[in-house]
Amino acid sequence: MGTTYSISDLAKEFDLTTRAMRFYEDMGLLRPERTGPGGRSRLYSAGDRARLKLTLRAKRLGLSLVEAKEIIDMYDSPRDTVAQLRKFLTILSAHRAQLEAQMLDLQANLDEVREHEREAKAILAKSDKGEKGDKKAAPPKPANAKTTGATAERKARVPIRAVQA
Write out pLDDT tens, residues 115-159. Answer: 999 999 999 999 888 777 555 545 555 555 455 555 544 444 444
- Verdict on whether the full-model pTM lies above 0.85: no
**Strand-pair partners of 100:** none
**Contact 17/11 with Cβ under 8 angstroms?**
yes
Model confidence at 105, pLDDT cuts 50, 70, 90, reads very high
The pLDDT of residue 27 is 92
Q: Are 59 and 45 in contact (CB under 8 A)?
A: no
CA 126, 128, 130, 133 dihedral sign is: negative
Residue 77 has pLDDT above 50, yes or no: yes
Model pLDDT, residue 131:
74
Residue with the bigger pLDDT between 32 and 147: it is 32
